[in-house]
Structure 1
């Protein structure tokens, strides 16, 4: 349930008011930007394995990760250790998600790098235009000395970030998303080994996962050429750019869904447009939340459900979702 004060704030923002901080914040130093460059490169250059913890409110979830680099590229296994078992294998941008309880496998080609500790595009783009990047202090995480970097948003449209970057390798060991003094979510390694030898079988499915009774669903993505998609966003918030337009067969959806992906260089937002099937339940418009920094906004337009999802504040989600329109 969203409080009246938040609703009032959203209405106020919707008519164009933004808290601009750009004049108060200087440009980021070259040394601070160099830490981000090092962090963006690190996952492609190092082997690592360990356990990381995700915190959001009262929700805590631990995962085990093994990451190997070789001449063929990157190979990775992430296994969620709490709740419903989930194991994701990645070879470069090819993903396979195994659900042992239901014996289902979902495959997909990754369209954007966004998995801890690999959270920055490479090379990264306009982050300094949207965040003031500041070197803060040194701290130790999982027995590794880290440089703490603060990313302070230059306006009210995005969250702040704290990054703990391994001094030796540049690998991200901890990250926190914040709004003011409130910590919204965190990822942090509880145990980590960097640059150790990793056997190839550790990043391959176990024997029981290769049995014939597993059902495989291939989640297909078709990149749409510029101008082909009839849905557009007419007023992107400051700092956000369109990354890609796609058509996808998402899980449990009877029809293909149009997908527009946006980013400000760090935060990502996705807009999904799908026709409302005759006889299906009428979508419920409004705001929905999940764990942590992800917010969701749903509206109905001309017989279509428009879902905007992203790791940005509610007012930003609404600005983007309300700007979606269909070309004649």
Structure 2
């Protein structure tokens, strides 16, 4: 029997420890947003542009989560959210937040994510004068981006997050400059007078499955399906959200009612938007896919949307 080199044996012995540490880090990250109060300032970078923001995140005794974000440089922008649902917005954010928009909490499961990402602990770092564990998630296919997460060793909060394309190029950076894990005062969560309330309109679950996708990237499943009413009319817009446990994208389907609209595609940093005209028995629709996924993937999703009862999407 050949001797096993010590370096190989050391790697084999480390594998269960690595898997256990990955699961622990992902579990703490998923719980931190729902259970940990904090306040601080962070830097956001996209397309080489930087902005600085203040955040107050308060978990109430009953479990309700209130969060206020305020941009500190450039145009004044503010948003107040309760349990992930925008209550008021100001500045350019008013055009980016849909009425009644809410983002379900991510369920970060290491076993599930390992089907679509190679996950490993890449060492330790120090962010905002706090020790952090570095978690790397590299995609196994071309349909999602890679992540590098620096997680606070005390709380599990993400102190730094890098979103990387298939060539390892930076698409988006989020990084705390200062973090205080004390519970913010109630008055810190009060919005300014310029924060405009978000109006809530009817949103009905689409249990009848009137839309389907003939193709989805492997691992992505439907999270939310709703019918919403536009603010300018009473037209119903179908809203679908898909996720793989970490990455997400949304699909909007809006009746055109004779409007002439051209197909379009755009990308700003990691966020893509692809719109295309689709003919149905009920008339033409505009399909728009928005999310932090590669442009080619978004285009294929937009082309795959169909009217009718869902079938098993091919992968």
Taking structure 2 as the reference length, what is the TM-score of the superposition?
Answer: 0.82
Q: Write the deviation string for residues 142-186 of structure 1: whole angstroms up to 9, x where unpaired.
A: 000000000011111111100000011111111011022201111
1:148 pairs with one of 116, 125, 134: 134
SS of 2:301's partner is: helix
CA contact (8 A) 1:219 1:249 kept: no
Structure 2 unaligned blocks of 5 or more: 1-14, 310-315
The equivalent residue for 1:108 is 100
Q: Would the alpha carbon gap of residues 54 and 252 (structure 1) be closer, same or farther in structure 2, given more than 3 Å must change?
A: farther
CA contact (8 A) 1:262 1:269 kept: yes
Please give the alpha-carbon distance, in whole angstroms, between the structure 1 residues aligned to 2:186 and 2:73: 25
The equivalent residue for 2:171 is 184
| RMSD value, Cα | 2.8
Please give the alpha-carbon distance, in whole angstroms, between the structure 1 residues aligned to 2:98 and 2:244: 29
Note the C-alpha offset of 1:325: 0.8
CA contact (8 A) 1:44 1:69 kept: yes
Question: Are residue 257 (structure 1) and residue 234 (structure 2) matched?
Answer: no
SS of 1:129's partner is: coil
Please give the alpha-carbon distance, in whole angstroms, between the structure 1 residues aligned to 2:204 and 2:98: 19
SS of 1:306's partner is: strand
Greater shift in the superposed pair: 100-109 or 247-256 = 100-109
2:297 pairs with one of 308, 312, 316: 316
Note the C-alpha offset of 1:253: 6.6
The equivalent residue for 1:91 is 82
The equivalent residue for 2:264 is 286
The equivalent residue for 1:79 is 70
Question: Are residue 42 (structure 1) and residue 14 (structure 2) matched?
Answer: no
Question: Are residue 65 (structure 1) and residue 55 (structure 2) matched?
Answer: yes
Greater shift in the superposed pair: 121-130 or 300-309 = 121-130
Structure 1 unaligned blocks of 5 or more: 1-25, 114-119
The equivalent residue for 1:244 is 224
Q: Would the alpha carbon gap of residues 103 and 189 (structure 1) be closer, same or farther in structure 2, given more than 3 Å must change?
A: closer
Please give the alpha-carbon distance, in whole angstroms, between the structure 1 residues aligned to 2:98 and 2:243: 25
Question: Are residue 295 (structure 1) and residue 276 (structure 2) matched?
Answer: no
SS of 1:29's partner is: helix
CA contact (8 A) 1:41 1:122 kept: no
Note the C-alpha offset of 1:59: 1.9
Taking structure 1 as the reference length, what is the TM-score of the superposition?
Answer: 0.79
* Equivalent residues, number: 287
